[in-house]
Chains A and B, each alone.
Chain A
Amino acid sequence: MLPMNSRMQFDPLQIAKQLADFNQRLQRGSELLRSVKDRDVQIATTPKTEVLRQDKTTLYHYEPMAERTVAVPVLVVYGLVGRYTMADLQEDRSLIRNLLLQGVDLYAVDWGNPARGDRWLTIDDYVDGYLNECIEFICRSHGLDSVNVLGICEGGVFTLCHAALYPERVKNLIVTITPVDFHADQAEGRTDHGFINLWTRSLSPEDVDRLIEANGNLPGELMSFVFSNMTPLASLTKYNLGLLDVVDDEKKLLNFLRMEKWLADRPHHPGEAAKQWLKDLYQQNKLVKNQFELGGRKVELVNITMPVLNIYAKEDHIIPPQCSRALSDCVGTDDYSEIGLAGGHVGVFVSGKSQGVLGKGIVEWLKERP
């Protein structure tokens, strides 16, 4: 029983009105949900052509949407924790489309859906194998000696490694929401940031090995669970309160469902690559210490001598800003720039607010470095 001085001050008439509004909303939402079909919820629809396939990895070339303004093509590289389709969620929320509309010749690499049989693939295979082959292919196709590369999250780490090992093949490097110092989360002292860093450090190296041995890979479902722990109530109320907020507005509802479709499409992370990701990088922080090795070669960030643009999200709870910004001190170029965008890890790519800012910032920076 609440005492008399409780903050709750409910007016019975107001409550009745709210209840009536709520019922009307539910009714409209129910009708709308019934009419929505899977074909209405499409993601990654920007026209593209498959130009190269290696095992499960596919290289796509997007159809131009405007006159070319940036001479050298850009290759978009996503990580293995999610799918590249996040960069092309829907027509009005698409980094891919924004870049194309501003005259960028665009490629994207899709790592596919790794299964148990892919458990032995390492980060070395992805960086020195598949990614390197994609870049070589684009160079050959355009008669170039280097291309522009844009890495996202774990894909940003792949591009950093590749740029450090093959600096001559990267003309300009753009990394977005990319971890470099995996222990810098501790400097922020925020309870809502960096849970993956904390969770990974709570495991022993043997825990990681047994987890991978038992599953053959890092299950996508486990990573989804860890992500949901980072925003516990948002995860729990997504399908009641969250859905209720958008259920009677077709546009908002379809946005919600597209995001759900992307979230549900979380691939398994190949086992050996996951061990490197969790142990070498998250636990032992080898990248920022220049101790990370791929194929017997040390990845030394000082070898990144091409211009670098580092884009981070100010409210990124998955890759805290300090983890990304640590790159500033490590690269071997003076042409280093940063853009800090308002928003969270995924919000930077899919929120309405960031749509103009992100693509425009990248294209302007590239135009200054032809």
Chain B
Amino acid sequence: MADKPANWMDQAGELYKQWADQQQSLFRSMAGNAGLFGIGGVNAEHPPVNAAVEATADATEPLRKAQALWQSSMQQWVDLAQKAMPQAGLTGESLKALLDPRQWAQAGLGPLDAAIEHLVEGPSYATLWTLDRKLMKAQKLRAEWSRDLAAFQVLMHGAWNEAVQRFMRELNDAQGTPITSWRELTDAWVKVANETLLATHRTPEFLEAQRRLTRSGAECRLQEREIAEAFCEMQQMPTRTEMDEVQREVYELRRRLRALEKSGRAPAAPAAALPNATKKPRRAAK
């Protein structure tokens, strides 16, 4: 985590902490001032006169820190805006990047991922907070699955958009066969869309997106099973893993039984000589 750039969620947390400290200082100063609102009183640790001076100093420091933090945060926004919209103005590429749903999905999940990752990958102390960690990990995996699903959907949307564009081009092709019925129109659309989707399905991008979605779905399911098993154990109920183990033992026993039955039984009839047996592959014989 240390070598990763600070994200906005961390900064928001820091801002809140500064604000809370500032409020505490303010209340302390009010409590120390006997005349103010008629509360507080003489306190050995914070004499009334000195307390007001100290409180003022306490209140200034957090404000200064908060201002610096706010400026730093704003600077990041400016950097982002400059990246998305270069000095030359709003280009097609920058607009595309801004409107690309993949960018939204990544940006939306980034800070959440980082926060959960921090909790999940932190040091663990025996079984302390084990279930909490499992729940947090499940949340992280669910977020990864959502991101993979979004990436997959973006690819599919792209394919459908391309199919529409191709279809419009074909419709406007004056050399093409005239279309005179709604069924001919539908068939033409089906043909174009099918070809486009099939081509998309064979691209490395689609295959990788589908692979990631399949994998993250499996990881989510496995983590959910861990949580379910933790609750099963609390309630002294058999878990899926235990059932799998039992079923494996039954399977192995059945297998041994079949082998025993087979070894103790004479074969149906002696093997006959096989005609046309060359005993070398046909490719070698050619």
Contacts and interface: CB of A to CB of B under 8 A. Distances in A.
Given A121-B251, A145-B268, A214-B222, A305 B178 contact: no
B38 to A, nearest CB: 66
Most chain A CB neighbours (cut-off 10 Å) among B181, B278, B281, B286: B281
B269 A139 contact: yes
Given A55-B254, A139-B268, A214-B225, 14 more contacts: A9-B178, A14-B181, A120-B248, A192-B198, A198-B202, A199-B207, A202-B207, A203-B211, A211-B215, A214-B217, A231-B194, A232-B193, A232-B197, A330-B282
A14 B180 contact: yes
A136 interface: yes
Interface stretch (B56-64, B87-95, B167-175): B167-175
A249 interface: no
A241 interface: yes
Contacts of B176: 7
Interface in B232-286: 243-244, 247-248, 250-252, 254-255, 258, 262, 267-272, 274-283, 285-286
A149 to B, nearest CB: 14
Contacts of B180: 9-11, 14
Contacts of A121: 251
B118 interface: no
A202 B247 contact: no
Q: Which secondary structure characterizes the binding site on chain B? A: helix
B194 A117 contact: no
B278 A334 contact: yes
19 contacts: A2-B172, A3-B172, A6-B172, A7-B171, A7-B174, A7-B179, A11-B180, A15-B181, A119-B244, A133-B258, A133-B262, A143-B269, A167-B274, A202-B210, A207-B215, A233-B190, A301-B281, A328-B282, A332-B280
A207 B267 CA distance: 42
Given A18-B182, A139-B268, A145-B269, A332 B281 contact: yes
A332 B276 CA distance: 9
Given A233-B197, A333-B278, A120 B251 contact: yes
Interface of A: 2-3, 5-11, 14-15, 18, 54-55, 116-121, 125, 129, 133, 136, 139-140, 143-146, 167-169, 191-192, 195, 198-199, 202-204, 207, 210-211, 213-216, 229, 231-234, 237, 241, 301-303, 305-307, 328-336
B177 interface: yes
A237 B243 CA distance: 41
Q: Please give me the 5 A-B residue pairs with the lowest Cβ-Cβ distance, nearest first.
A: A168-B271, A139-B268, A329-B283, A305-B277, A145-B269
Contacts of B195: 191
Interface in B79-117: none
B213 to A, nearest CB: 11
Contacts of B250: 117
Interface string B156-189: 0000000000000011111011111111011000
Contact of A213 (B218, B248, B262): B218
A149 B232 CA distance: 48
Contacts of A118: 251
A146 B281 contact: no
A336 B218 CA distance: 44
Contacts of B262: 133
A145 B272 contact: yes
A232 B198 contact: yes
B185 A8 contact: yes
A241 B211 contact: no
A306 B247 CA distance: 38
Nearest to A207: B215
A305 B276 CA distance: 7
Contacts of A6: 171-172
A330 to B, nearest CB: 5
A13 to B, nearest CB: 11
A329 B282 contact: yes
B182 to A, nearest CB: 6
A198 B279 contact: no
A198 B255 CA distance: 34
Contacts of A192: 198
Given A2-B171, A7-B173, A330 B281 contact: yes
B32 to A, nearest CB: 61
B272 A146 contact: yes
Nearest to A11: B180
Nearest to B286: A329
B221 interface: yes
Nearest to B216: A210
B36 interface: no
B10 interface: no
A117 B245 CA distance: 10
Contacts of B174: 5, 7
Nearest to B197: A232
B42 interface: no
